[in-house]
Structure 1
Amino acid sequence: MNIPQLQVQTTSAKLGLQINKPIQEIEQPKATLTIEQPAAIIEMSTTPSELTIDTTENRAALDLMSMFRRGDEVAQYSQQKVQEGIARRAQEGQQLVKIENGGNPLADIIKQNTDRPVAELGIRFVGNSLQLKRSFTPGQVNINVTPQKPIIDAQINKPIHHYTPGTVTANLEQHSSIEIDWKV
């Protein structure tokens, strides 16, 4: 006896997925930075040094004196010579008054006035460094420096973010089916 048979044949459905991955782009721009350093303020003040050399005595030794000193010297010399001349004239007058004592006083007076001593020749060093009067006042330099703070300007740049979301597309590649068959 034949028993009927039921035959069932199924086909599964096939689902196809198309996946597009998400795209994310992040870019961080560098910060915009400007730095400026102002120059320091420098203030300088100086007091000049002073050197004083008094060469009055050395110049006088070289016969290079000021007109005031020369005038004083000439006045003193003249006064001395006038007094010497008065004394000489008085002495000559005394010699002439005593003419009766004999001799030739007039010839003696002429001889005294005409005989001059012979000048000595020689080397003479003039000027003396010990007679120089020196004074020195050192100068001063005052320096004042005022530093300046730097000027810093920092601009933070936001990140640049691009995001493309991913997609999933589903499609039915194969339909499901069922076949039922009777076999006798």
Structure 2
Amino acid sequence: MQLPSLNIQSVRGQTGIQSQRPHIQIQNHKPNFSIKQDHAFVEMSTQQSKLTIDQREAFASANSKHVYRLNEEFAAKAMSNAHQAIAKYAREGDQLMRIENGGDVIPHLAKVNSVLFPEKGITLGQMPKPFSVKVQFQRSKTNYRVNEGGVHVQAQKNVPTIQHRPWQTDVYVRQKQSIQFKAVGLQFNQQR
């Protein structure tokens, strides 16, 4: 005789885990630079030297004078001679006015005024006179103006680009659990 038994079959459940590691990608961009430089320059201005030579006195000592100067000298000499003559005649008049005081005023005046050509001395000189040529020299002048150039720098930073994928873990059911019951060795008579 065979005893009935119960046959149990079970399947364990299994879970699966799938994970993805994190990923970071950083892309760094170069900064943008703009550099502008102004050129330096130098300005120079020069005032030329000047040489002045005045020879008028040298020519005048050689009796080569301008007509205006001759006129001025003749007028000055005539004025001086006129003043000397007036002074001489005034002195002689004063002497004649005091004739009663005695003395030989008239014979003395006659002797002095009778000389037509007074004696002249001899003098030695150079022509032209020394140091009669005037020389002036003005040296040149140079002015400098320096304009320094400048450098203008503009920098623009660029933000890095970051791509990030976080750690991701997926849990799933690989195999579902199950249980089955089965009666073995039972025979039923289902008829009555």
Confirm or deny a common fold (TM above 0.5).
Answer: no
TM (norm. structure 2) is: 0.40
- Bigger Rg, which one: 2
